Chain A
């Protein structure tokens, strides 16, 4: 852990992230651009027609939303156990991003569900647990804003984040545990992906692009919060 915390010092984080940020932005633009172009060039699916193009937006958004929650829970755990200030900042910086990716997953899923299932929404396990993910993010943000004191806010929100982490495996395995309209896992499954390479490539690239976009925005938001905290402490010093 010592080596991890060496980089988790705010000053070092500012130096390191400043060096990494241009590469992150470049990699995001390249993967997202290539994935979207390949997605548009991909042929219609034999069953789903051109609605398969929604997959390149829906699956990466949902994946990023869940990964972000995993990181939120992990940062919260580190914040609770080791009381490391940067982990609270990191957790706080994730929540609005996670909420946006979750909302995107829900809306694009609805736009895909209507033509393929005949319904904008069904109350099955996958959709309901994913809607709960949005409420967890919103609840986390609301809890942060409910406290004046940053340390207490971080602690309360971290506990909510950890309790809510139970929802992640429920989302993941909901398509196996319960009957659902939602299709099952077709990428990371034993025996290899079951979708054609013409869809797998654009999906992989947009998935990577969304992940990198999240990493870029997360890094900038952590930097913003560190700068804001420096501003607040300078103002306090000035007032004293």
Chain B
């Protein structure tokens, strides 16, 4: 397990690469879904008779 975490001595490069990917793609997904939910809610409120 510790061997896997060490990434053959390249842990300082491999893990940050995965970290920044998770953060940026996760952020893009979160922002996209939140904007979508907000737009749906606004339209639903306006279309309510």
Would you call B24 and A100 a contact (CB within 8 A)? yes
Nearest CB in chain B: distance from A39 CB, A: 10
A114 at interface by CB-CB < 8 Å: yes
A193 at interface by CB-CB < 8 Å: no
Choose one: B18, B24, B29; the contact of A103 (CB below 8 Å): B24
Kindly specify which of A122-130, A156-164, A177-185, A217-225 makes contact with the partner chain: A217-225
A108 to B15, CA, bound (A): 10
Q: Is the interface of A mostly helix, strand, loop or mixed?
A: helix
Nearest A residue to B39, CB-CB: A227
Would you call B10 and A108 a contact (CB within 8 A)? no
Would you call B13 and A231 a contact (CB within 8 A)? no
A141 to B13, CA, bound (A): 31
Choose one: B10, B21, B28; the contact of A50 (CB below 8 Å): B10
Nearest A residue to B20, CB-CB: A107
A231 to B7, CA, bound (A): 51
Interface size on B, residues (CB 8 A): 26
Choose one: B18, B36, B43; the contact of A220 (CB below 8 Å): B36
A221 to B7, CA, bound (A): 37
Task: From known contacts A51-B14, A54-B13, A115-B10, infer whether A231 and B20 are also in contact, taking CB-CB under 8 Å.
Answer: no
Would you call A115 and B13 a contact (CB within 8 A)? yes
Would you call A231 and B17 a contact (CB within 8 A)? no
Interface residues of B (CB under 8 A from A): 7-10, 13-14, 16-18, 20-21, 24-25, 27-29, 32-33, 35-36, 39-40, 42-43, 46-47
Complex A-B: 22 CB contacts under 8 Å? A49-B10, A50-B9, A51-B7, A53-B17, A54-B13, A54-B17, A57-B18, A100-B25, A100-B28, A107-B24, A108-B17, A108-B21, A111-B14, A112-B13, A217-B28, A221-B32, A224-B32, A224-B35, A227-B40, A227-B43, A228-B42, A230-B43
**What 4 pairs between A and B have smallest CB-CB spacing?**
A227-B39, A50-B8, A50-B7, A49-B8
